[in-house]
Amino acid sequence: MTLIVGLTGGIGCGKSSVSQFFSELGMTVIDTDVIAHNLTQSDSPAIPTIRKCFGDHFITSTGMLDRNKMRELVFNDDSARTTLEKILHPLILEEVNLLLKQTDSPYVILVIPLLFETKDYQQIVDRILVVDCDEQQQIARVMARSHLSEQQVRAIIATQTPRINRLQYANDIIVNNQDINYLRMQVLHLHHEYMLLAQNHSNPSHECN
């Protein structure tokens, strides 16, 4: 069986950069956010259900989900967020399982921003890798890339598993407080560790014959 590493972290901590480095090393990367984005395109089977539950107002003229409007809604309405999750999460999980069956990578990086919030992947991942940085850097990065206010970023952070809990649950931690070379060095170090773990994972020893 393939070793599956669940990669997670708070918004703005650098999950995309880390997963890109693993991909450059030749490892399979499965990103649940990318899958979710694909599932909200105009030709997705999820769109009719989203339209039925939320109305035409949340579907663009081209037939895809209006992500900005939906993002604003779900951050202010817990019941709307739960409804959207019930539509998308089973479809995302189905696609993840399909992609895992198709991989021939020694190990897989499975990017799950809401790993601890959804609980769908606890039985799938073998290890948890958390990308971490201090909160002020986290806020500054999200404000710069998404043009959100500090209040809006803090509101998003408040909906996610607390940083201290993520670190407590982690098997491995990458600290993204310095430059990109330091980040890459940490990925390379973990890559070597994961290659060794993957070899043992695929060929477990047996005490009894």
Taking only the tens of pLDDT, the chain with its 209 residues reads: 799 999 999 999 999 999 999 999 999 999 999 999 999 999 888 999 999 999 999 999 999 999 989 988 988 888 999 999 999 999 999 999 999 999 999 999 999 998 998 888 988 999 999 999 999 999 999 999 988 899 989 988 988 899 999 999 999 999 999 999 999 999 999 999 999 999 988 665 544 44
C-alpha span between 191 and 24 (Å, rounded): 11
User: Could you tell me the residue range of the domain that residue 131 belongs to?
Assistant: 1-27+105-209
Position of tokens 């948890």? 128
Whether 126 is covered by a domain: the verdict is: yes
Same structural domain for residues 68 and 168? Answer: no
Same structural domain for residues 84 and 115? Answer: no
Residue 110, strand partner residues = 6, 30
Same structural domain for residues 51 and 150? Answer: no
Whether 32 is covered by a domain: the verdict is: no
CA dihedral 119, 122, 125, 129 (to 10 degrees): 70
Compute the Cα dihedral for 112, 115, 120, 121 and give only its sign. positive
Same structural domain for residues 109 and 67? Answer: no
